[in-house]
Amino acid sequence: MAGDIVREFGYLCLGSRFRRIGERLQADTQQIIQDFGAEIQAGQYPFLAAIDRDGPLTIGELAEAVGITQPGATRTVAQLTDLGLVEALAADGDQRRKLVSLTETGRALIERSKREIWPTIERAVRDLCGDRTAPLLDHLAAMEDGLAAAPLAQRPTKKPEETL
């Protein structure tokens, strides 16, 4: 039987391991969302949450808030528009800038999600993380900040004894 090479290689495969964990968390989250009868993808929720928190946002602002590319945000907004959860209207008469806002259906989904769906998901993830929740989130934030400051390719690659 083959061992788990991604786990065995530690830091060398950390990105692959994060991706694997992320995909599993996303799939399990999707199952909870479906169990509640909501017709939305787990990865679309952060867009609705950002609009709920900050009010109408441009595609660029949504991309920044969620941490993805503008084309990715455009695709997701189109999907959410098709679902009737958001609408994109010209900002101040400028057809080039669209402000994305929640529809009544989107607001209703957010309110239900805050009450029922999100607490269920959060409890499940907290249970999975045990008492490591806060340190884990702090460590992930530090990693994201570190990658924003300097990608891996710009970090030291020599062994400590080679730098002497």
* pTM, two decimal places: 0.83
Q: What is the pLDDT averaged over residues 6-28?
A: 93
CATH for 41-148?
A: 1.10.10.10
The residue with greater pLDDT, 96 or 11, is 11
Q: What is the pLDDT averaged over residues 43-70?
A: 96
Q: Where are the domains of the chain?
A: 41-148
CA distance 61 to 88: 13
CA distance 35 to 27: 12
Q: Structure tokens of 128?
A: 């999975």
Q: How confident is the model at residue 48 (pLDDT cuts 50, 70, 90)?
A: very high
List residues bridging with 94 in a β-sheet: 91
DSSP 3-state percent helix, strand, coil across the chain (nearest 5): 70, 10, 20
- Residue-wise pLDDT tens digits, 107-147: 999 999 999 999 999 999 989 888 777 788 888 898 889 88
- Residue-wise pLDDT tens digits, 60-103: 999 999 999 999 999 999 999 999 999 998 877 777 788 999 99
